[in-house]
Amino acid sequence: MAAQPKIVPLEGEIDLHVSPRITSTLNAAVNAKPRNLVIDMENVSYIDSSGLAVLIEVMQKVEKYGGKFALAGLQENVKPIFEIARLDQVFQIYPDVDSALSRE
């Protein structure tokens, strides 16, 4: 039986000071090898390069075991950070968690 989808909500500003804690949280989620790992970004107001690096690393781990990784609910002020870095072409980004979960 496949593992249930895992939704990890993040919030606030994700920067160099917060990234290590987020790395631990996300690595714990990845260790359960969920078929779908959705990062709920609805309450994230800012993310810097260290936060982006954490997301890329986790996405690679999930893809390595054959899972699916998605970001959901990027705020309007966070989207450009992904677009400038061209990460909107790297990540599967959905408007909300429900639409991320309904993909197959």
Which CATH number fits the domain that encloses residue 40? 3.30.750.24
In a domain, 90, yes or no: yes
40-53 confidence digits (pLDDT tens): 999 999 999 999 99
Four-residue CA torsion sign, 98, 12, 64, 91:
positive
pTM tops 0.85? yes
58-96 confidence digits (pLDDT tens): 999 999 999 999 999 999 999 999 999 999 999 999 999
Domain of 17 in residue numbering reads as 6-25+32-101
6-42-29 Cα angle (round to 5): 25
**What pLDDT is recorded for position 5?**
86
Nearest to 92 by CA among 66, 71, 65, 63: 71
Contacts of 48 (CB under 8 A, 6+ apart): 14, 15, 16
Number of domains in the chain: 1
In a domain, 1, yes or no: no
Helix (H, G, I), strand (E, B) or coil at 97: helix
In a domain, 48, yes or no: yes
Most confident of 3-17, 51-65, 90-104: 51-65
